[in-house]
Chain A
């Protein structure tokens, strides 16, 4: 995609309103729960009261006979399993034989109204055989199986006793016991790296799980029409993957299914899986012949979850006298909850992106994900990378303090060069991290403030990286990741069709801006039709920060293709070479004589007269990854975004209460398609990061979620939100549309470790886990605090990954390699 100078851009780069702004602020956006169809029925789900149990019998006969009940559904009626990843097809729409967490759906009722459906749930009899529940990584690993255990400090192996019969495993797949997935990779000889280091340090950290908390609760409406075709409207971030799951579980040809993603009232990764309630709505619609709607309660949203994995982490780094890294060894242990979800990808992500910020010549990663009897974990903003990034950035701060180095200067000095291929074979293209660090250091006064603000006040710094879209789709295929179709109307209007899903981040608006830019019209001239499997070409969904980059590139291609006949016709009419034509302000004009031109509508009419109906398609597929090892599907991306943050905070040593006073954050967004929306994403990321750093946790007690409500699950209010200074750094990445990278997830990453590092500056203490609660702060001040140790677990035999051959197309490999 060719770069264009800023002065040539008339829409891109401007702080325009979102195209749906008026609908949103006046309450007219139609979310899934706002939809109503004639004869619509309402369904509710019966959920498991036990964290782990076998289902002996489900009897729905009394519920089915209740007045107003239209249909019931049990797990045996939808026996085909599904799951977002092909390797983890371990979920059922309704549990047929076993429940794995409190909240696992077991049966469903459709009725004339919601009250009747809810009341009928009480008439369903379920006979459970209760099984032992595993509520933590340690409990899950203690059930034994064939795995061993090793102390991370001594590397001594000790065998675990087989505590329970294999039959009580949460799932009957996975390598052993409750282990879902275990990995170990060597990228270079880290032991040799530690041996040549002047200084070696290891640290242990814990990142508690937390959830997305979207404002909109999930809702699904399904209707099986008289033509036999099934339509599902849903609050989903991934309508294409839902489409596939519906076809599989309901055993219908995909051509007979239409999936429409409604505007999402926030997603953050929590609406990225196909969910049982979506499949249940479809099946009940087929059974009743009526539209059937299911809207989840807030408590049920906590049970859908798929949020941040609780992660125990250990990191060991060797440093030379000048502070440069000789080797890094990173271990993670993830609490996956009850199902696979994205967990295999999440696990790889906890080891993938450590290498793309600073020079790490040798790297080793070991990871394990275990099943527990809690709501399943999955992708939440930053997917698997905020936990290790938190650990890494705190670890760096610790070794800088130990060696008397300035943590800001160390980072500046050790940032990767552009064009690097890392030890784990991730290809870094542009990298604006140095500028990000420099800007937040300067703007915050970090150098002057660090260690000098007095007791109870401190500053902390951290940096990070994130992907701009996953390099591979969820299921293997060679097709585009994003497709865009454009139709030009005789009146000068343009319709854009794309499978992308607006979850509030503004992806619909980005399509309008890009097409308006390329065709020289205004965003309000563009009608955007998205996320409808019948009407729009496939886009893989709003996950992995992929949409602006991929749909943007697809839209540019489609727009330039549809522009060709328009320019050709206009060139003929104006009698100028096509190459001299420009389009802006609803005009096609001659660059040599700007007064000479046609209106866009006139040009379109001429083109249609000459060439016939005007339409074009465009698509985008990420570049092929240079990585060659199995598991390298996670981590590669068209380009990495970079962020750096400085947090200033005050801490009350008597109460342990921490108050964040200000955040300076710089983000390498490549190019702002709309700086207003970029800053919105940056500020939202800061807000979410602060909640994770200081408050939010998925707490469990006696097998249940302890606080499944907006009142009791503590997330910051506007009163806890400090001033934020957002700095946008533009590196004009050749892979991005107009040079753009992602901005929706990456800026969350540095916030959490920057808070922890600022707390150390303020009070001289380390709380090596999040959330950093007042009681943990007091514990640290009293000298009573210790981070939870790594679980006893023997990681599998290490796969030694050979370095890429020099002949490989590895441009700009760093000197350290």
Chain B
């Protein structure tokens, strides 16, 4: 079987201590929360850390509090988030996205913070070491070219988090704890346009909290496209949120695409287009026609990239139809 490379493991009791461990060990150290993505990747040698800093003992970062806004401890499992009564009632797109990650056993172990920080994916990269050696190593690990876009000087691995687009669509913020300080930044600035350095946080910083504002008056949803109803990473995610005033006029709106680029893509032009318009079939179709343009799918995930690009338009349209209370066009539920 594929086996883990040797590593040292430490599990400090506080985020500050964890950040210090990471800072002291430098690039040879990594943080691990649920480990559902990191350990398989280590078996394939995407990562070969000398030191793993386990976050499992950060008890204070495990809770979920819903007062006015929502505070999610980064160590809360995806199951905890997906099944939390207040989250289900007041931030349903978060519950939905968390509940669509992978499979039930992995959601029981995987954490919300881990999913926000999950490694970018590419089917030239998420392979065993011997497979990658056969085809020639890529720049994300051990090589110097991008195999999916050979002319590119940046890596095109896909952002594959289900919860990241949702957090951005809800204007969430995250707390990052460093060895000496902590800061709170908007979730939309957590991601960078590079499949390798895909997070803007410093490597030693530990993501501890997610803060979601009160969204009373908004409607929000998340749609995930993938081949199968479970297990699969998204090949497209659409997080949408809208605040409607009288006559279904859009006061404010967020449309964020996942798995179409190295980072979640906010469809700003489509958002600008929709503000002040009635949310109806016609405006939705036009907005979807604008929103899908920044999607840049390549031949590095399941199914064809041309189809995935075409689906971005349809899925945005269906997400907005859902928020407008219109028929989405999805297949009706099974009748048997």
Query: Interface on A for B, CB 8 Å cutoff?
Result: 47, 49-50, 102, 114-115, 118, 217, 295, 297, 299, 456, 650, 652, 654-657, 659, 661-662, 695, 702-704, 706-709, 711-712, 714, 716-717, 719-720, 722-723, 773-775, 778
Contact = CB atoms under 8 A, between A and B. Distances in A.
Interface stretch (B12-20, B203-211, B225-233, B263-271): B225-233
A654 B334 CA distance: 18
B135 interface: yes
Top 7 closest pairs, chain A to chain B, by CB: A719-B229, A49-B134, A775-B307, A723-B336, A662-B336, A714-B227, A650-B331
Given A297-B1, A706-B123, A722 B336 contact: yes
Given A114-B3, A299-B131, A702-B135, 8 more contacts: A49-B134, A102-B134, A299-B128, A652-B331, A704-B131, A708-B127, A709-B126, A717-B228
Interface stretch (B52-60, B168-176, B247-255, B298-306): B298-306
B303 A773 contact: yes
Nearest to A219: B1
A652 B310 CA distance: 14
Contacts of B314: 654-655
B329 interface: yes
A-side interface mostly = loop
Contact of B231 (A115, A711, A773): A711
A115 B43 CA distance: 11
Main secondary structure of the interface of B (DSSP, over half): loop
B317 to A, nearest CB: 9
Given A659-B331, A695-B227, A717-B230, A47 B130 contact: yes
B307 A774 contact: yes
Given A299-B131, A655-B311, A711-B232, A661 B336 contact: yes
B228 A714 contact: yes
Interface string B104-140: 0000000000000000000100111011011100000
24 contacts: A102-B134, A299-B130, A299-B131, A456-B331, A652-B329, A655-B311, A656-B307, A657-B331, A661-B334, A695-B227, A695-B228, A703-B135, A704-B135, A707-B123, A714-B232, A714-B302, A717-B229, A719-B229, A719-B230, A720-B228, A720-B229, A722-B334, A774-B303, A775-B307
B121 to A, nearest CB: 10
Nearest to B147: A702
A778 B3 contact: no
B302 A50 contact: no
Interface residues of B, number: 33
Task: From B127, B303, B314, name the one whose CB has the most chain A CB atoms within 10 angstroms.
Answer: B127
Contacts of B311: 655
B190 to A, nearest CB: 25
Nearest to B330: A652
B332 interface: yes
Contacts of A707: 123
A295 B310 CA distance: 43
Interface in B157-214: none
B228 A719 contact: yes
Interface in B282-336: 302-304, 306-307, 310-311, 314, 329-332, 334-336
B2 interface: yes
Contacts of B228: 695, 714, 716-717, 719-720
Interface of B: 1-3, 123, 126-128, 130-131, 133-135, 227-232, 302-304, 306-307, 310-311, 314, 329-332, 334-336
B164 to A, nearest CB: 20
Given A295-B1, A299-B131, A661-B336, A654 B329 contact: yes
Given A114-B3, A297-B1, A717-B230, A661 B335 contact: yes
Nearest to B231: A717
Nearest to B308: A775
A656 B307 CA distance: 9
Contacts of B304: 775
Contacts of A662: 336
Contacts of A652: 329-331
B134 A775 contact: no
B2 A297 contact: yes
A16 B220 CA distance: 51
Contacts of B329: 652, 654
A454 to B, nearest CB: 11
Contacts of A717: 228-231
Nearest to B136: A702
B336 A650 contact: no
Contacts of A722: 334, 336
Contacts of A657: 331
Contacts of A695: 227-228
Nearest to B332: A650
Nearest to A773: B303
A739 B135 CA distance: 54
Contacts of A774: 303, 307
Contacts of A114: 1, 3
A773 B134 CA distance: 29
A23 B228 CA distance: 31
Contacts of A102: 134
